[in-house]
Structure 1
């Protein structure tokens, strides 16, 4: 009986062993729960490569925008947890942890169908109606920005708001990842009246003297922050005094939404002078200020 032999081929044997090993271990499995990353080009979020200068990036400009159907379904469920969208942002004021999102989501649609741009002043929030505007203050350094909320999230832990990478960099926490912040909703009515966390702050015209009411001595002020904590207000006040030659005050007011400590620069005779002070403040790193009329 003839015996048939096969030549020994080490490379073939090694290939078979590798294939068998691959079948034994299988591909890396995603974590438990739905996989929401398949539509993104990268799996992990990250900052853009290279240095990004945000010093000249302007805050979002609050204006009246009716709430849209897209992005405002309520209630909605993410990862088994149910969330409710607020009927109105008026009077909203909360403190919590802010995170940021960047390159993974850049160029993809937000919850209301817009395209996310990590270089613009936008944010994601679980409950504020879309679109909304909010002033976000980093309580660790007193910096403030104004963002437009057009997305949902963050859904990790107890985080309060997710800012675009650019907004986080303006607030100075892009390298840390998170910061403790105060979020105050900015609402604008169809006739132009504006409130911040329920506090009236306008309107103020683009030029000329501020309007007087009932003979009261009103002037224009630049408000750089409004806090529920007096210590945070005085910290920002001290920083502001190093940037401008005008007077800086902390004015404490009681409103229906609670007690607030407002950091204000002024008074100014008109909005032109106030705008110059705003420019000085922005150059010094204090952004997100607003103009308002107030009494001396």
Structure 2
């Protein structure tokens, strides 16, 4: 049986060959401390890598479950249930900013922070672009938590089925 290091190297070689790029990816994974699979892209975007090394984009554990944030959300599109949150006014987001319930922001378990996504309410067709700057929701069957301000603009009073599409990094 291979050690975790040997297994990681074998996967890196499978995706990237045994050349210099494979070595770079191997070292990036080891030094970055990320436990997720190696990226499938043959190029490393320095903008994405800078955010991936931030504490808020490293694997984290909530209620005994470990979450692995994406290093890139290019092409991300998913449907699921949205909810909103607002009672946490003044608390800090995962990125350290104060949460503003009437602002236009969101929380997602694995999208890279910060990023901008388009959220579309599938019941009424309304859409809004929001900055994802926090982690959550941690309730079963929830895809995204919206600030009260964002939920209001989408016509969401409790929960609603939405489509979430990645637009760009947010800075």
Whole-angstrom distance in 1 between the partners of 2:156 and 2:166: 21
* 1:124 maps to 2:107: yes
Match for residue 62 of structure 2 among 78, 83, 91: 78
CA deviation after TM superposition for structure 1 residue 70, in Å: 3.4
The residue number in structure 1 matching 2:94 is 111
Question: Across the two proteins, how many residue pairs are aligned to each other?
Answer: 123
The residue number in structure 2 matching 1:44 is none
Larger relative contact order (C-alpha < 8 A, sep ≥ 6)?
2
* Contact persistence 1:137–1:171 (CA under 8 A): yes
The residue number in structure 2 matching 1:178 is 159
Provide the secondary structure at the position in 1 that maps to 2:150.
helix
Provide the secondary structure at the position in 1 that maps to 2:57.
coil
Whole-angstrom distance in 1 between the partners of 2:74 and 2:102: 27
* Contact persistence 1:70–1:113 (CA under 8 A): no
* Contact persistence 1:126–1:153 (CA under 8 A): yes
Q: Give ranges in structure 1 of 5+ residues lacking alignment.
A: 1-63, 191-296
Deviation string, structure 1 residues 81-136 (Cα, Å, up to 9, x no partner): 1211001111100000000000x211110011111001111000000000010000
Task: Give the alignment's TM-score, normalised by structure 1.
Answer: 0.40
Match for residue 166 of structure 1 among 146, 149, 157: 149
* Contact persistence 1:121–1:164 (CA under 8 A): yes
Whole-angstrom distance in 2 between the partners of 1:67 and 1:131: 8
Whole-angstrom distance in 2 between the partners of 1:129 and 1:187: 10
Q: Which has the larger Rg?
A: 1
Match for residue 76 of structure 2 among 88, 92, 95: 92
Whole-angstrom distance in 1 between the partners of 2:170 and 2:83: 29
Whole-angstrom distance in 1 between the partners of 2:149 and 2:127: 13
CA deviation after TM superposition for structure 1 residue 189, in Å: 9.9
* Aligned ranges 1:1-296 → 2 under 5 Å: 67=51, 69-74=54-59, 76-102=60-86, 104-174=87-157, 177-187=158-168
Provide the secondary structure at the position in 1 that maps to 2:56.
coil
Task: Give the alignment's TM-score, normalised by structure 2.
Answer: 0.68
Q: Give ranges in structure 2 of 5+ residues lacking alignment.
A: 1-46
Q: By percentage of residues, which structure has more helix?
A: 2
Whole-angstrom distance in 1 between the partners of 2:55 and 2:128: 25
Whole-angstrom distance in 1 between the partners of 2:96 and 2:104: 17
